[in-house]
Amino acid sequence: MLTLFKNANTYTPLYIGKKDILVGGKSILAVADHIEPPQGVEVTTVDCTGLSLVPGLIDSHVHITGGGGEGGPASRMPELQISMMTDAGVTTVVGCLGTDGITRSVESVLMKVKSIRANGMSAWMYTGAYQVPPPTITGDIMRDITLIEEVIGVGEIAISDHRSSVPTIAELSKLTGHARVAGMIGGKAGIINMHMGDARDPFRPLHDIVAGTEMGYKQFIPTHCNRNEYIFEDAKEYGKKGYVDITTSSYPYYMDEEIKPSKALKQLLESGVPIKHITFTSDACGSLPGFDPETGKLIKIEMGLPDSILREIKEAVTEDGIPLEIALQVATSNPADILKLTGKGYIKEGYDADILILDASFHIIHLMANGSIVK
């Protein structure tokens, strides 16, 4: 069966005008000004007059098996549900472990990736957790990345944070080199997702790795770059050389500490950070803890949700004046390109039919994942 979207204001994510899009199987077959329904086959026609058609969103930092645990067993977060993705317009996730690389396993993340795929959505994962040396599936990060199709890199590795394993620059450099080579051999991104904590000069370990090795800044995706004012100020300069990831779900829980994601996007662009260096992720199903700065005691904990990405994209457009075709890139083409997610992130012929239909108020009208309408 074919699906034909008619008269849609189409974003690839770049705006290309009013188009028709024909989908067959899991792929986009054609994008054109006008497409007649093919004869002799069953065609479902979806009238998109007055609606926007954009790529399905990519959430590339999700604790798909649940995160948390910093406050003891009662603070463990539940795993991701497919409904959380569909309600958020998300068709692709990248899973990871976080603080708890002890009672939660990389193997369980892999099986959750397979479960998400079996339910028609798309998923990849990072091997490892906060700790160095990181937990793995095969006993070696190079083997995980090279041999396991779903594994694209390492993360999230914690630095500049009291919950990290306080890795040395030598340890981080070796980890980075191994991830890079494994990515080359396996045809993967081979990137390291870095959890950035609250320490001052938080990017210093990454600067030191680049200065002391042949590695470049684009070997890393530092996340939570809007968690406080001083890391965000550093991110304005760091982002000119490497990638910066903005966490969307922690706002509005920490309004007094964090930079609102939509406003962070505007400020990064105004500071000269290239749009292709910026991503939005939700940190969904991970804990959003608050600690007493003097005692280190956990005093607050929340949980992130994927729908925060679309909310912040909407507000980047409606409140901060960023064109939709710019704002969309942070959760579509950018993560697809950075993480080498083949077939994802674009509305183009031959790409996977991950399609999000929005009305003028950014309400989700339809969501298609891999050629099937799921909402």
Same structural domain, 127 and 272: yes
* Average pLDDT of the segment spanning 85-89: 97
Same structural domain, 325 and 350: no
Predicted confidence (pLDDT) per residue in 20-33, tens digit: 999 999 999 999 99
CB 93 within 8 A of CB 116: yes
Catalytic residues: 283
Q: How far apart are CA 347 and CA 230, in angstroms?
A: 37
Structure tokens at 83: 């409904």
Q: What local confidence, expressed as pLDDT, does residue 68 receive?
A: 80
Question: Which sign does the torsion angle of CA 322, 326, 330, 332 carry?
Answer: positive
DSSP state of 237: H
CB 277 within 8 A of CB 239: yes
Q: What is the CATH number of the domain that holds 140?
A: 3.20.20.140
Q: pLDDT at residue 92 above 80?
A: yes
Whether residue 252 is preceded by a cis peptide bond, meaning omega within 30 degrees of 0, is: yes
Long-range CB pairs of 229-235 (<8 Å, 24+ gap) are 229/259, 230/200, 231/196, 231/198, 231/202, 231/203, 232/259, 232/264, 232/267, 234/201, 234/202, 234/203, 235/203, 235/268, 235/273
- Whole-Å CA distances, 265 to 59, 110, 286, 330: 16, 32, 22, 9
* Average pLDDT of the segment spanning 211-237: 96
Q: What is the CATH number of the domain that holds 13?
A: 2.30.40.10
Give the domain extent around 182: 57-338
Same structural domain, 43 and 72: no
Q: Which SS3 state, helix, strand or coil, does residue 283 take? A: coil
Amino acid at 227: R
Where does the pLDDT of residue 363 fall: very low under 50, low under 70, confident under 90, or very high at 90 and above? very high
Where does the pLDDT of residue 215 fall: very low under 50, low under 70, confident under 90, or very high at 90 and above? very high
Same structural domain, 248 and 325: yes
Beta bridge partners of 2: 24, 43
Q: Which SS3 state, helix, strand or coil, does residue 266 take? A: helix
> H-helix or E-strand containing 356?
strand 355-358
- Whole-Å CA distances, 374 to 56, 249, 310, 365: 11, 23, 17, 11
Where does the pLDDT of residue 304 fall: very low under 50, low under 70, confident under 90, or very high at 90 and above? confident
Q: What local confidence, expressed as pLDDT, does residue 125 receive?
A: 98
Q: What local confidence, expressed as pLDDT, does residue 166 receive?
A: 93
* Average pLDDT of the segment spanning 190-214: 95
The total number of structural domains in the chain stands at 2
Q: How far apart are CA 38 and CA 208, in angstroms?
A: 58
Same structural domain, 25 and 119: no
Where does the pLDDT of residue 220 fall: very low under 50, low under 70, confident under 90, or very high at 90 and above? very high
Same structural domain, 288 and 256: yes
Q: How far apart are CA 257 and CA 300, in angstroms?
A: 13
Judge residue 298's burial from the number of C-beta atoms within 10 Å of its C-beta, 0-12 exposed, 13-18 middle, 19 or more buried. Answer: middle
Same structural domain, 25 and 63: no
Amino acid at 302: E
Q: How far apart are CA 319 and CA 313, in angstroms?
A: 10
Rounded percentage of the chain residues whose pLDDT exceeds 90? 83
Q: What local confidence, expressed as pLDDT, does residue 228 receive?
A: 92
Same structural domain, 219 and 249: yes
Same structural domain, 365 and 298: no
- Whole-Å CA distances, 284 to 34, 56, 119, 241: 39, 17, 19, 27
361 φ, ψ to 5°? -100, 10
Q: What is the pTM of this model?
A: 0.94
Pick the more confident residue, 221 or 375.
221
Predicted confidence (pLDDT) per residue in 254-297, tens digit: 777 899 999 999 999 999 999 999 999 999 998 776 777 777 77
Q: What local confidence, expressed as pLDDT, does residue 76 receive?
A: 86
Ranges of H-type helices in the chain: 82-88, 106-118, 141-147, 169-186, 204-212, 229-238, 261-270, 308-318, 324-327, 333-338
Same structural domain, 309 and 191: yes
Q: Tell me the Cα Rg of the chain.
A: 20
Q: How far apart are CA 89 and CA 336, in angstroms?
A: 16
User: What percentage of the chain's residues is helix, strand, coil (to nearest 5)?
Assistant: 30, 30, 40
Same structural domain, 190 and 320: yes
Q: What local confidence, expressed as pLDDT, does residue 162 receive?
A: 85
Q: What local confidence, expressed as pLDDT, does residue 39 receive?
A: 86
Q: pLDDT at residue 41 above 80?
A: yes
Q: How far apart are CA 16 and CA 28, in angstroms?
A: 16
**If you count them, how many residues does the chain have?**
375
Q: How far apart are CA 241 and CA 140, in angstroms?
A: 29
Q: pLDDT at residue 77 above 90?
A: no
Predicted confidence (pLDDT) per residue in 129-187, tens digit: 999 999 999 999 999 999 999 999 999 999 988 888 899 999 999 999 999 999 999 99
Pick the more confident residue, 330 or 68.
330
Where does the pLDDT of residue 320 fall: very low under 50, low under 70, confident under 90, or very high at 90 and above? very high
Same structural domain, 275 and 354: no
Q: pLDDT at residue 67 above 80?
A: yes
Q: What local confidence, expressed as pLDDT, does residue 7 receive?
A: 97
Q: What local confidence, expressed as pLDDT, does residue 287 receive?
A: 74
